[in-house]
Structure 1
């Protein structure tokens, strides 16, 4: 990526509140112009702190943050020309919707006529053009979030930051707003940095996702690559559902390896993050990649499993099995593919292909 494609650059950024514990450690991150980048991770992983340093509400303990060719970490928040959308909307209750949206333009000293036309455009973009005269308290949570979005975009900033903006909404509205924000992003081409702990939200909305853990980015990639090709156990477990089998590395041959399970079974997988022969390994297999009964016959890896439980989820069923001593091995099947004869306590063959098993570090494997 050339420097001209980069809008924001974190260079060796660190943050500590007590001088000892690093909440963010040595963060190096380039954010591309026009991309939708999500910072994803559990609470305390450093994602929100990184966003707040970019916004100017937190100061880095070390390192530099650049916006284009301007060093940002010394510029006060109100001079950064960055749009912000928070989970709690942060609207002014005593101002109408139109006044709330107009606020950033007034602060910038824009003329009344121009403000009026820009506010109309921004409200039309979030489908609230008829609500300008209402007050935030007269609106639903979803509508208030749209107002907050219009206010963040009205002054046409080159960068918009969103901190868990949909966290307070119910599931259906949340999913609807995810698509709205995605469409607005595509329409405007503005650069968005979005923070969430919700992995499905991150996968749905983003061009790229940076997975944070313990103050460091574990992996940054396109959603599909993160899901299909996690590069360590933390990412495999945090993104989507994941089956883990603990074993030891028997041998490695180029990109693939043989792993011995505790009861002696030998499996083959892609060698992604492994030590030498005899070292502990965690095998990662996605639930939808496992084949049952006759469908497993052509698979390179084959085991048997005892059916423990069926969990129906409308369009698909999750079948929990005991496999090689692991009690929580899950297979996901579309309802149409489910064998109606299958019942709890049945012992059945199952299998998966080498390219769908990843041998990773044993961290948190048990």
Structure 2
């Protein structure tokens, strides 16, 4: 899969990169990837998909089996980690417990042989950036998890690297603190303009923070796009189901009608769907529709696609209610309804019209068994 951003300044490039640990199976397969200067790029995917291995190769902790990794025009393949001038933030913080916060921040500056006055100035600035101005004298063991993560972030940025790598940095934090730190990291990135490559398996984190997201599966990037494009226009069934909530309907292509397919569902109903993955008449397709794009009852009346659904369950989420319905022989079809639009007369067991526009139903490749 070749990824070449048009007229953008490229900071990092992977070319035909492969990685194998046993000489047989490839964890990363022929990866071509350009990382743009100043962007926040997230590598997203399930465990074992190759995303962390890519980050470790970029950091220098792993060596590519094949291919080239370049930072600007510099070939990195055999450059040791400490000579790459790359900042790194880990999930476990990796702070020196016997050093104060200020000493931890000073360490990467000391090994770069900066003067004491320069070090003091940069440490002070970095502490201010992460809102820990008065914590320089404390030791890591005297800090909360969130404070330690701020110190780790400041240490990665204190020497003004061109590139900062973050490996699941918020995984050890509780939900509320994690969401707060997501916004802090995003704001720091925006203010500094540093290039960030971020690894996570949390798709909501990726959507919240990133300029672009690269979705990995089996060592291959399935799609790389802005968060809203990944969500609204997934390129295949894996991305559709991995990013956000998704309803899937399987069917058989009856005919192509311009950019759309006529598709027959298992129960015999025929729907129109946007043709994303190409298939001839008779081909099996897995169709994707987001829960918030579905309309119910009277609101479904003007929709191009309309089916009958049996209401099976109400699930309350505060600002909205998710309704689980049985549609086209599937009992896990979800619809999101804002609380203010919920009909108080609906009951479990009711049959409702279910509708959506053809452009919101995406005909993709069949789901893997």
TM-score range, shorter chain: over 0.9
**Equivalent pair of 1:82/1:159 in contact (CA under 8 Å):** yes
Bigger mean CA offset, 249-258 vs 96-105:
249-258
Within 2, Cα distance between the matches of 1:338 and 1:87? Answer: 41
Give the match for residue 348 of structure 1: 352
Q: How does 1:16-165 map to 2 (within 5 A)?
A: 16-165=20-169
SS at match of 2:251: strand
Q: Distance in 2 between matches of 1:329 and 1:192?
A: 37
Q: Answer whether contact 1:284 1:359 (CA < 8 A) is retained.
A: yes
CA distance in 2, matches of 1:326, 1:27: 37
In the TM superposition, what whole-angstrom CA distance separates every residue of 1:257-297 from its partner, at most 9, and x where no partner exists? Answer: 11100111000010001311101111100000000000001
1:212 is matched with 216
SS, match of residue 230 in structure 1: coil
**TM-score between both structures, scaled by the size of structure 1:** 0.99
Which of 173, 182, 188 is the aligned partner of 2:186? Answer: 182
TM-aligned CA distance change 1:40 to 1:185, over 3 Å? same
CA distance in 1, matches of 2:164, 2:265: 48
Tell me, in whole angstroms, the C-alpha distance in 1 between the residues paired with 2:56 and 2:367: 30
Matched with 1:339 is 343
Q: Which runs of no fewer than 5 residues in structure 2 stay unpaired? A: none
Deviation string 1:11-38 (CA, Å, 9 cap, x unpaired) is 0000000011100000000000000000
- Residue of structure 2 in register with 1:296 after alignment: 300
Deviation at 1:4, TM superposition (A): 6.6
Secondary structure, counterpart of 2:14 in structure 1: strand
* Partner of residue 233, structure 1: 237
Q: Secondary structure at the match of 1:89?
A: coil
DSSP 3-state at the match of 1:98: helix
What corresponds to 1:319 in structure 2? 323
Unaligned stretches of 5+ residues in structure 1: none
What's the Cα RMSD here?
0.9
CA distance in structure 1 between the partners assigned to 2:202 and 2:262 by the alignment:
34
Do 1:123 and 1:129's aligned partners in 2 also have CA atoms closer than 8 Å? Answer: yes
CA distance in 2, matches of 1:224, 1:4: 20
User: Shift in Å at residue 253 of structure 1?
Assistant: 1.8
CA deviation profile, 1:292-324 (whole Å, cap 9, x unmatched): 000001100000100111100111111000001
Normalised by the length of structure 2, the TM-score is 0.98
Q: Aligned equivalents of 1:246 and 1:170: distance in 2? A: 38
Q: Which region of structure 1 is more displaced relative to structure 2, 137-146 or 249-258?
A: 249-258
Q: How many residues align?
A: 365
Question: Would the aligned equivalents of 1:274 and 1:281 in 2 still touch at CA under 8 Å?
Answer: no
Secondary structure of 2:113 counterpart: coil
Residue 73 of structure 1 aligns to a residue whose secondary structure is coil
- Structure 2 residue aligned with 1:223, among 223, 227, 247? 227
Cα distance between partner residues in 2 of 1:107 and 1:295: 65
What is the distance in 1 between the residues matched to 2:339 and 2:6?
A: 47
- Quote how far apart the aligned CAs of 1:255 are: 1.1
The alignment partner of 1:185 has SS state of helix
1:256 aligns with 2:260: yes
